[in-house]
């Protein structure tokens, strides 16, 4: 009973601290510990928070892994794993909705970080089409394909429909390599060339096709120029 009272008092103190300053000045394990209070009643979550961060190499990584991986961590059951996994995808959904509320200028300086954020937390291979107006402002983006870990099928007619429907002046394509290998394959080169020609026929310019792997970006367009 005494132990429960200590935990209860600790939670109350953390709640009071959050009410005064939110998470400002908190350590990552403290933030995670506080979040875990929402799904783990009465039990001290400090050790579980440390276990999660240590297991996955950082606070943000905790929200990127599968439920199965989460359940292997001491102190994490199915309910907690489901909560953490859902919260990670909620944050991603929130950012997508927030993005749609305003236009974003995609230029050479912002492109790399934009792409890295776009694929953050995605474990499978995805393909995005990003439509821009004449001022390089992002006016629409869509995750149009999800493939296996090492392959993805590209639907050319769908890409053209999206670009034309959104009255795009420019298009940027992007996909990730979950393998972590930041190299454009021969298939990437061929598909990019085909899509570029098709978009040109619609008076739409393909600015680039970006590959994201292990926090790095590779320009397929540059690769095409180097290969001649």
Chunked into runs of 10 residues, the chain (228 residues) has average pLDDT values of 56 87 90 92 90 92 91 94 93 73 66 84 87 90 75 80 95 90 85 93 94 89 78
The pLDDT value recorded for residue 10 is: 84
CATH number for 186: 3.40.140.10
Same domain, 159 and 206: yes
DSSP tag of 75: T
DSSP tag of 145: E
Rounded CA gap, 172 and 170, in Å? 7
Q: Rounded to whole angstroms, what are the CA distances from 147 to 117, 144, 150, 198?
A: 19, 10, 8, 23
Same domain, 128 and 203: yes
Q: Which domain holds residue 84?
A: 2-96
Same domain, 92 and 158: no
Q: What is the pTM of this model?
A: 0.60
* 1: three-class secondary structure by DSSP: coil
The pLDDT value recorded for residue 2 is: 44
List the structure tokens of 90.
């909620």
Name the maximum alpha-carbon separation found in the chain. Answer: 75
The pLDDT value recorded for residue 7 is: 55
The pLDDT value recorded for residue 183 is: 85
Same domain, 118 and 223: yes
């Amino acid at each position: 009973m005494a132990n429960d009272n200590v935990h209860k008092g600790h939670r109350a103190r953390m709640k009071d601290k959050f009410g005064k300053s939110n998470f400002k000045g908190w350590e990552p394990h403290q933030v995670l510990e506080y979040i875990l209070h929402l799904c783990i009643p009465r039990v001290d979550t400090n050790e579980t928070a440390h276990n999660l961060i240590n297991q996955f190499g950082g606070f943000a990584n905790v929200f990127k892994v599968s439920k199965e991986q989460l359940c292997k961590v001491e102190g994490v059951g199915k309910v907690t794993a489901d909560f953490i996994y859902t919260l990670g995808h909620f944050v991603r959904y929130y950012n997508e909705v927030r993005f749609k509320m305003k236009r974003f200028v995609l230029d050479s300086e912002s492109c790399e970080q934009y792409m890295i954020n776009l694929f953050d937390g995605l474990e499978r291979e995805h393909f995005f089409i990003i439509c821009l107006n004449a001022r390089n402002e992002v006016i629409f983006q869509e995750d149009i394909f999800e493939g296996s870990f090492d392959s993805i099928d590209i639907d050319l007619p769908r890409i053209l429909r999206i670009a034309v429907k959104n009255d795009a002046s420019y298009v940027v394509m992007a996909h990730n390599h979950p393998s972590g290998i930041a190299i454009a394959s021969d298939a990437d080169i061929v598909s990019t060339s085909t899509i570029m020609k098709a978009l040109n026929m619609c008076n739409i310019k393909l600015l680039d096709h970006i590959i994201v792997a292990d926090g790095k970006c590779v320009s397929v367009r540059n690769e095409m120029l180097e290969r001649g």
